[in-house]
Structure 1
């Protein structure tokens, strides 16, 4: 019996990623205000699971851009890809300009499917449990 093309499994490329090539990013909060801070910005490396987090007063695009430049791009190098949800703090003109300037691919998760950014979601749960 011959196998037709229709019944074949689609070929998937084998992808190799280096440490710090792919990062997931997410905000946690709104928490009760403590010293003026009510959010946590969390960035997780997909390969090493290294976590960078900072308490923030707001959850806006400026906070995200400043954090990425100073704590990720300048420390670990410019990543190949950044994965985030569709929050307006990640999905805006400022972020588009930032990732375009540095040549980073920005992957946006689909709504109601947080598993796409599973690394960040796992650490979100851990931080919430700890707090």
Structure 2
């Protein structure tokens, strides 16, 4: 996909990945400052609980006093990934690649609709069968299959329909 210039005024996509379940949360944002990052993380904490640690890059929106105060308040350890060890942020890169591929196929040439299509891309990503875990990420997190409006054309190995 070409550079994500702007979609409804949003220029950034903030992505968070749970390392155990591989659950992905993403949001299009107008800015990438500490305030919007903290607001995004607080909404995740309210929905899923607080994690033990958050691993991020060295971006200014993660390395500042406001972010540090939120992490301290919620008892979350903030760890920084280094450029010398790319495996640290490898799961986020894999998730970014998967979301980007889905968005490229659904958005096409109209980059203005990325903001509208992000929720659909997340749904597709979460409900796709993942061979390494033997189920969908949705089923791993919620313990049940997601209701799909279509019937699979081909049976996947390891699934009971």
- TM-score norm. by structure 2 comes to 0.59
User: Which SS does the other structure have where 2:72 is aligned?
Assistant: helix
Q: Distance in 2 between matches of 1:106 and 1:46?
A: 15
Do structure 1's residue 129 and structure 2's residue 101 form an aligned pair? yes
Structure 1: 5+ residue runs without aligned partners? Answer: 1-29
* Higher strand fraction (1 or 2): 1
What is the CA RMSD across the aligned residues, in angstroms? 1.7
Q: Distance in 1 between matches of 2:45 and 2:61?
A: 18
Residue 89 of structure 1: aligned partner: 61
**Equivalent residue pairs, number:** 102
Relative to structure 1, the CA distance from residue 60 to residue 114 in structure 2 (aligned partners, 3 Å threshold; closer, same or farther) is farther
Residue 128 of structure 2: aligned partner: none
Residue 158 of structure 2: aligned partner: none
Do structure 1's residue 59 and structure 2's residue 25 form an aligned pair? no
Structure 2: 5+ residue runs without aligned partners? Answer: 104-161
Q: CA deviation at 1:119?
A: 1.2
Do structure 1's residue 46 and structure 2's residue 19 form an aligned pair? yes
Residue 83 of structure 2: aligned partner: 111
* Higher helix fraction (1 or 2): 2
Q: Distance in 1 between matches of 2:38 and 2:84?
A: 24
User: Which SS does the other structure have where 2:26 is aligned?
Assistant: strand
Contact persistence 1:31–1:38 (CA under 8 A):
yes
